[in-house]
Amino acid sequence: MEGDSVTLHTDTEIQRYDLIEWRFGDKGIRIARINKTANKISIYDDVLDGRFRDRLQVNDQTGDLNITNITTQHTGLYLMINRKTPKTPYRFNVTVYAHLPVPLISRDSCSSSKCVLLCSVLNVRDVSLSWYKGNSLSSSISVSDLNIRLSLPLEVEYQDTNTYRCVLNNTITKQTQHLNITDLCQTCSNVITLIVLIISVVPLVFVSAAVIYCFCGKSQQTKEEGKNYL
């Protein structure tokens, strides 16, 4: 995880005339060197825009490389090469994961009986986003490259009493957000109920108005007829 320290162990013992080099990335950029003959350690932490600055330490007895306060920029291939021997270099593939955000649950849409919710996260990579119903996986989506927004929908009924949670995880950690159906869907349900009520009441209002109009009109007509008779 970002912020951790990692030590790349070689399980070797440096000999008197060894010349050890640590290299990083596909281009094999040198980041550290141990010259045992000269009894000298060199750290090249200004390379690659200084991403290794004040982060590298090497053990002059074992050749182990320690990287402190590691970031995602330090993901990649590391090689430990002994220039004085024909041995195959030690290879380390390091993957550094960023701290995961807590997923956000929001209401997307609603109908007369159901509510559609979205679980979303921003700017994540190498993760899975999943909905769980109780302890069972309901749906899931994964992304490997950096994504501006990752969303996963869930459709529930207003009276649903099951427990749901949205989980964002990578290979070493996870973040969970629990769903409260009542809080997110109640407003939507109330609006729909109000609309249905209005649709039901409005015709009654018109019918009532028509009845009153007819009654008043009839009364007025009767009065006029009475006057004419007199």
pLDDT confidence of residue 164: 96
Q: ∠ CA 35-38-39 to the nearest 5 degrees?
A: 75
Q: In what order do the strands lie in the sheet with 104-110?
A: 104-110, 114-124, 147-157
pLDDT confidence of residue 84: 85
Task: Give me the sign of the Cα torsion angle 192, 196, 199, 205.
Answer: negative
Residue 102 pLDDT > 60: yes
* Of 197 and 108, the one with more pLDDT: 108
Residue 221 pLDDT > 60: no
pLDDT band, residue 12 (cuts 50/70/90)? confident
Three-state SS for 75? coil
Which residues does 30 contact at the CB level (< 8 Å), separation at least 6?
Answer: 21, 22, 23, 44, 47
Q: What digits encode the pLDDT tens for the residues 176-211?
A: 999 998 888 876 645 444 344 444 544 554 545 455
Q: What digits encode the pLDDT tens for the residues 21-47?
A: 999 999 999 999 999 999 999 999 999
**What is the H or E stretch that residue 104 is in?**
strand 104-110
pLDDT confidence of residue 184: 87
Residue 219 pLDDT > 80: no
**Least trusted range by pLDDT, from 44-48, 64-68, 84-88, 178-182:** 84-88
Ramachandran angles phi, psi of 133, nearest 5°: -105, 105
Q: What digits encode the pLDDT tens for the residues 117-146?
A: 999 999 888 899 999 999 999 999 998 887
pLDDT band, residue 218 (cuts 50/70/90)? low
**Least trusted range by pLDDT, from 61-65, 87-91, 146-150, 158-162:** 146-150
Structural domains of the chain sorted by starting position, each given as residue range(s) with its CATH number in brackets: 6-94 (2.60.40.10), 104-185 (2.60.40.10)
Query: CA-CA distances (angstroms) from residue 81 to 10, 18, 211?
Result: 11, 10, 98
pLDDT confidence of residue 66: 97
Percent share of the chain, pLDDT over 90: 56
**Burial class of residue 22 (count of CB atoms within 10 Å of its CB; 0-12, 13-18, 19+):** buried
What residue has token string 């009364």?
219
Q: Please tell me the distance from the alpha carbon of residue 74 to that of residue 78, in angstroms, as a whole number.
A: 10
As given in the structure block, the two tokens for residue 197 are 């009520």
Residue 97 pLDDT > 80: yes
pLDDT confidence of residue 169: 94
